[in-house]
Chain A
Amino acid sequence: MSRLLRGASLLGGGATDVLVDEGRIVALGTDARDARADVVDADGLVLLPGLVDLHTHLREPGREDAETVASGTRAAALGGFTAVHAMANTSPVADTAGVVEQVWRLGRDAGWVDVHPVGAVTVGLGGERLAELGAMASSAARVRVFSDDGKCVHDPVLMRRALEYVKAFDGVIAQHAQEPRLTENAQMHEGVVSAELGLAGWPAVAEEAIIARDVLLAEHVGSRLHVCHVSTAGSVEIIRWAKARGIAVTAEVTPHHLALSDELARGYDPVFKVNPPLRTAEDLEAVRAALADGTIDIVATDHAPHTREDKDCEWAAAAFGMTGLETALSVVQATMVDTGRLGWSDVARVLSSTPALIGRVADQGRPIAVGEPANLVLVDPTARTLVDPAAQATQATNSPFRGRELPGRVVATFLRGRPTVLDGRPCDETVEVHA
Chain B
Amino acid sequence: MRHLLSAADLSRDEAVLILDTAAQMAATQSRQIKKLPTLRGRTVINLFFEDSTRTRISFETAAKRLSADVINFSAKGSSVSKGESLKDTALTLQAMGADAVVIRHQASGAPHTLATAGWTDCAVVNAGDGTHQHPTQALLDAYTARRHLVGAGGTQDVTGRDLAGLHVAIVGDVLHSRVARSNMQLLHTLGARVTLVAPPTLVPVGVQTWPCAVSYHLDEVLAQGPDAVMMLRVQRERMSSAGGGFFPSALEYTRGYGLDARRLAGLPDHAIVMHPGPMNRGLEISADAADSPRSVVVEQVANGVAVRMAVLYLLLSGTGPATSAGDEVADESGTPEKVGTGA
Contact residues of A with B, CB < 8 Å?
187, 190-201, 203, 267-269, 309-310, 312-318
B residues less than 8 Å from A197 (CB atoms): 108-109, 132
Cβ-closest chain A residue relative to B181: A198
CB of A314 within 8 A of CB of B206, answer: no
CB of A198 within 8 A of CB of B86, answer: no
Closest Cβ–Cβ distance, residue B165 to chain A (whole Å): 26
Say yes or no: A198-B131 contact (C-beta < 8 A), given A268-B113, A315-B113, A316-B80: yes
A residues less than 8 Å from B207 (CB atoms): 195
Say yes or no: A315-B109 contact (C-beta < 8 A), given A309-B84, A310-B83: yes
In the complex, which of the residues A196, A203, A309 has the most CB atoms of chain B within 10 Å of its own CB atom? A196
B residues less than 8 Å from A194 (CB atoms): 204-206
B residues less than 8 Å from A198 (CB atoms): 108-109, 129-133, 178, 181
Say yes or no: A195-B113 contact (C-beta < 8 A), given A315-B107, A317-B79, A317-B107: no
Say yes or no: A313-B84 contact (C-beta < 8 A), given A197-B109, A267-B112: yes
Q: Which of B93-130 contact A (CB under 8 A)?
A: 105-110, 112-113, 116-117, 129-130
A269 and B112 CA atoms in complex are apart in Å by 9
9 additional A-B pairs beyond A196-B209, A314-B107, A316-B106, beta carbons within 8 Å, are A198-B131, A267-B112, A268-B110, A268-B113, A309-B83, A314-B79, A314-B86, A315-B113, A316-B108
A199 and B106 CA atoms in complex are apart in Å by 11
A312 and B81 CA atoms in complex are apart in Å by 13
Contact residues of B with A, CB < 8 Å?
8, 79-87, 105-110, 112-113, 116-117, 129-133, 178, 181, 204-210
A residues less than 8 Å from B131 (CB atoms): 198-200
Cβ-closest chain B residue relative to A313: B83
CB of B206 within 8 A of CB of A192, answer: yes
CB of A192 within 8 A of CB of B209, answer: yes
B residues less than 8 Å from A193 (CB atoms): 206
CB of B130 within 8 A of CB of A317, answer: no
A314 and B133 CA atoms in complex are apart in Å by 15
A296 and B105 CA atoms in complex are apart in Å by 41
A residues less than 8 Å from B132 (CB atoms): 197-199
A201 and B83 CA atoms in complex are apart in Å by 21
A268 and B205 CA atoms in complex are apart in Å by 19
A residues less than 8 Å from B8 (CB atoms): 196
A193 and B208 CA atoms in complex are apart in Å by 11
Cβ-closest chain B residue relative to A187: B108
A192 and B87 CA atoms in complex are apart in Å by 29
Q: Name 10 interchain pairs, CB-CB below 8 A, sorted by A.
A: A190-B206, A194-B204, A195-B204, A196-B209, A196-B210, A197-B132, A312-B84, A314-B107, A316-B80, A318-B83
Cβ-closest chain B residue relative to A184: B244
B residues less than 8 Å from A314 (CB atoms): 79-80, 83, 86, 105, 107, 109-110, 113
Say yes or no: A312-B83 contact (C-beta < 8 A), given A198-B131, A198-B133, A198-B181: yes
A198 and B132 CA atoms in complex are apart in Å by 4
Closest Cβ–Cβ distance, residue B216 to chain A (whole Å): 17
CB of B109 within 8 A of CB of A268, answer: yes
A380 and B112 CA atoms in complex are apart in Å by 40
Cβ-closest chain B residue relative to A199: B108
B residues less than 8 Å from A318 (CB atoms): 83
A residues less than 8 Å from B106 (CB atoms): 316
